């Protein structure tokens, strides 16, 4: 799966960037699902962030989840909160 978010300083730059990416995908025989493509959107959600012409901002629900999370009370809860419980073991190969 390929996920791309393309931007440009102007509509013309954006369309030039889009054309180049589509040419490269076609030359590599990569298909696209048109039903999953959006073009010329003023705002998109990408990798948990809102991307607009003003910049990149975290999504409000993600910020709220962190702000309203209960504080960990032990090492196990802290590791879970920080995501360390999702890492592979040290001797994992």
Domain ranges of the chain: 11-86
Which residues have C-beta within 8 Å of that of residue 48, sequence separation ≥ 6? Answer: 58, 59, 62
Alpha-carbon distance 41 to 69, whole Å?
32
Q: Grade residue 83 by pLDDT with cuts at 50, 70 and 90.
A: confident
Q: Please state the pTM of the whole predicted model.
A: 0.55
pLDDT score for 68: 94
pLDDT score for 2: 55
For residue 45, report the phi and psi dihedrals to the nearest 5 degrees: -100, 125
pLDDT score for 72: 93
């Amino acid at each position: 799966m390929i996920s791309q978010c393309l931007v440009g300083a102007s509509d013309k730059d954006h369309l030039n960037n889009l054309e180049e990416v589509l040419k490269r995908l076609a030359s590599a025989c990569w298909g696209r699902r048109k039903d999953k493509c959006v073009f010329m959107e003023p705002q998109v959600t990408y990798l948990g962030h809102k991307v607009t012409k003003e910049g990149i901002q975290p999504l409000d629900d993600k910020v709220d989840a962190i702000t309203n999370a209960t504080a960990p009370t032990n090492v196990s809860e802290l590791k879970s909160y920080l995501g360390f419980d999702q890492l592979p073991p040290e001797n994992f190969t």
